[in-house]
Chain A
Amino acid sequence: QQQVKQSPQSLIVQKGGISIINCAYENTAFDYFPWYQQFPGKGPALLIAIRPDVSEKKEGRFTISFNKSAKQFSLHIMDSQPGDSATYFCAASSGGYNKLIFGAGTRLAVHP
């Protein structure tokens, strides 16, 4: 049973477009929701994170939208660039950061 469900599995976007990746969770105890970016052959790296006391967080072209009542959160990449082509993972944890639960990942390809 996957505690964090991520969609879509893969995504193709044209350069300059908006990439949207969605995640849903069941455990209402989750209180930390990060997004990680992974390039081929590399380890994941933290991109942006949010806590449930805010509905949106923006860092440059990357925005997390959080809907606590729907138990959903999403990553929006504005003005997508070929360099954004990577695999993106959403994750969640509760009561500290010891046990991060990851989604299955979304492979994003941004075409020039």
Chain B
Amino acid sequence: NAGVTQTPKFQVLKTGQSMTLQCAQDMNHEYMSWYRQDPGMGLRLIHYSVGAGITDQGEVPNGYNVSRSTTEDFPLRLLSAAPSQTSVYFCASRVPGQGQAFFGQGTRLTVV
């Protein structure tokens, strides 16, 4: 039981490049979300999904796209990376009706 798995762990992008951060969970959790963590700002919600085919925006959605075609996977897409998107990204999942969120180990993204 791996929990929440994020790939890659580290990534360097050039401004304007696109990429997809992968997130997979094997706990059959319907709810999944993406956060970014920046120094002095805690974690901020980017997008979340309450089930396959259903996504919604969080606090800081601009510049990011998501889709949810299966229960297990919730990829985060950066269409045109900007230096302001340099951050550590965390994916999380949880069971509906329960508050505990299970986080992956994060992806450290640097945009130069």
Q: Which 8 A-B pairs have the closest CB atoms?
A: A43-B103, A102-B42, A102-B43, A46-B100, A97-B99, A104-B42, A44-B103, A43-B105
Cα A43 to Cα B34 with chains together (Å) = 12
CA distance A101 to B50 in the complex (A): 17
Check if B98 is an interface residue, CB within 8 A of chain A. yes
> For B44, what are the chain A residues with a Cβ–Cβ distance below 8 Å?
102
Answer whether A105 and B42 are a contact pair too, CB < 8 Å, given A41-B105, A42-B105, A43-B104. yes
Additional 18 contacts, C-beta under 8 A, given A43-B104, A98-B33, A105-B40: A34-B99, A34-B100, A42-B106, A43-B103, A43-B106, A44-B101, A44-B103, A89-B42, A93-B99, A97-B94, A97-B98, A97-B99, A97-B101, A99-B59, A101-B59, A103-B42, A104-B42, A105-B42
Residues of A within 8 A of B105 (CB): 41-43
* B27 nearest CB across to chain A (Å): 14
B28 to chain A minimum Cβ distance, whole angstroms, is 17
Q: In the complex, are the beta carbons of B42 and A99 less than 8 A apart?
A: no
For chain A, which range describes its interface: under 10, 10 to 19, 20 to 34, or 35 or more residues?
A: 20 to 34
Cβ-closest chain B residue relative to A102: B42
Interface string of B54-88 (1 = CB under 8 A from A): 00101100000000000000000000000000000
Contact pick for B90, options A44, A103, A104, CB 8 Å: A44
Q: A20 on the interface (CB 8 Å rule)? A: no
Q: Judge whether A46 and B42 touch: CB under 8 Å.
A: no
Is A45 an interface position by the 8 A CB rule? Answer: yes
B21 lies within 8 A of chain A by Cβ: no
Interchain nearest-CB distance for B76 vs A (Å) = 15
Chain B residues with CB under 8 Å of chain A are 4, 31, 33, 35, 40-45, 48, 50, 56, 58-59, 90, 92, 94, 98-101, 103-106
Contact with B along A79-106 (1 / 0, CB 8 A): 0000000000100010001111111110
**Bound: A93/B41 CA distance, A:** 17
Measured between beta carbons, the chain A residues less than 8 angstroms from B103 are: 43-45
